[in-house]
Amino acid sequence: MKLADFKVLTFDCYGTLIDWESGITAALQPLLARAKPALAGDAVLETFARHESAQEAETPGLIYSVLLATVHRRLAGEWGVRPDEAEDMRFGASVPDWPAFSDSRSALAYLKRHYRLVILSNVDRASFAGSNRRLGVEFDAIFTAQDIGSYKPNPANFNYMLARLAEQGIASGEILHTAQSLFHDHAPAKRAGLATAWIDRRHERSGWGATMPPPTDTTYDFRFQSLDAMVAAHQAETGH
């Protein structure tokens, strides 16, 4: 199997293209400043992952900015902090402030010359629009949880994407799903019959950070530590 075998790259965004762990941590600082005992690092991200995943399962139709505000309120309760509705809403609206990884913009510009690029994201349209401006590329299709009415790893999200792409004449064998989260993306993508490329953004750290642990049998077809590494592999294959 080679990268050049595929015509379409379907991307997760947050954790893959956008550095959501840095963005989440920055947006949680007002809440963390009041938490007792003090919390930091992966302990914060792992608690976020637990509440976000639970909330997505409980309220799959809730728009992501509102869902994030609800998660913020849940975190305040767990950390013994008096709830603040305005602060909840600011956290929910923080997605467009989350930074892109340093290689995302240039890598996407290169990959756009060789593939159709598609987004499949656990987010709402307005939040993604803010992130898209940071990425600087026009995606050929964008599918969000808001469009689908559920959140990955629900198989409905991949089924929806594959059905819409099939309407455009794109077969599943032409697609390489490219993502960081083994839990949200690789496990359900493989169940849907897709080839996958793992962008292992946390390769220098242990644990799963802002995502839940994946099923123990989760597999993937390619592994790269960055999008730059994926571009280099494509260049090596094709001579571009």
**Residue-level pLDDT at 35:** 87
**Residue-level pLDDT at 36:** 80
Based on the fold, state whether residues 220 and 196 are members of the same structural domain. yes
Q: What is the CATH number of the domain that holds 41?
A: 1.10.150.750
Q: Could you report the average pLDDT of every consecutive run of 10 residues in the chain (240 residues)? A: 96 97 96 84 94 97 97 95 94 97 98 98 96 97 97 98 97 98 97 98 91 94 98 93
Based on the fold, state whether residues 162 and 50 are members of the same structural domain. no
Based on the fold, state whether residues 31 and 135 are members of the same structural domain. no
- Please list, in sequence order, all residues whose beta carbon lies within 8 angstroms of the beta carbon of residue 216, skipping any fewer than 6 positions away: none
Cβ(44)–Cβ(25) under 8 Å?
A: yes
Based on the fold, state whether residues 110 and 160 are members of the same structural domain. yes
Based on the fold, state whether residues 234 and 125 are members of the same structural domain. yes
**Residue-level pLDDT at 41:** 84
Distance from the first to the final alpha carbon of the chain: 18
Question: In terms of DSSP bridges, do strands 116-121 and 8-11 run parallel, antiparallel, or are they unpaired?
Answer: parallel
Based on the fold, state whether residues 78 and 180 are members of the same structural domain. no
**Residue-level pLDDT at 240:** 78
Burial of 140 from C-beta contacts in 10 A (0-12 / 13-18 / 19+): middle
**Residue-level pLDDT at 67:** 98
**Residue 206 sits in which domain range?**
3-19+98-238
**Residue-level pLDDT at 38:** 76
From 65, 97, 129, give the residue that closes a domain. Answer: 97
Q: Phi/psi zone of residue 120: left (φ > 0), alpha (ψ -120 to 50 degrees), beta?
A: beta
Q: What is the CA radius of gyration of the chain?
A: 18
Q: Which amino acid is at 214?
A: P
Based on the fold, state whether residues 46 and 165 are members of the same structural domain. no
- Residues tagged active-site: 12
Encoded tokens for 43? 């302990």
Q: How many domains does the chain have?
A: 2
Nearest Cα to 227, choosing from 175, 178, 176, 174?
Answer: 178
From 55, 71, 97, give the residue that closes a domain. Answer: 97
Based on the fold, state whether residues 124 and 45 are members of the same structural domain. no
Based on the fold, state whether residues 135 and 89 are members of the same structural domain. no
The pTM of the full predicted model, rounded to 2 decimals, is 0.94
Based on the fold, state whether residues 84 and 198 are members of the same structural domain. no
Based on the fold, state whether residues 84 and 29 are members of the same structural domain. yes
Based on the fold, state whether residues 115 and 216 are members of the same structural domain. yes
Q: Which amino acid is at 95?
A: V
Rounded CA-CA distance 54/156 in Å is 17
Q: What is the CATH number of the domain that holds 207?
A: 3.40.50.1000
From 70, 97, 124, give the residue that closes a domain. Answer: 97
**Residue-level pLDDT at 48:** 96
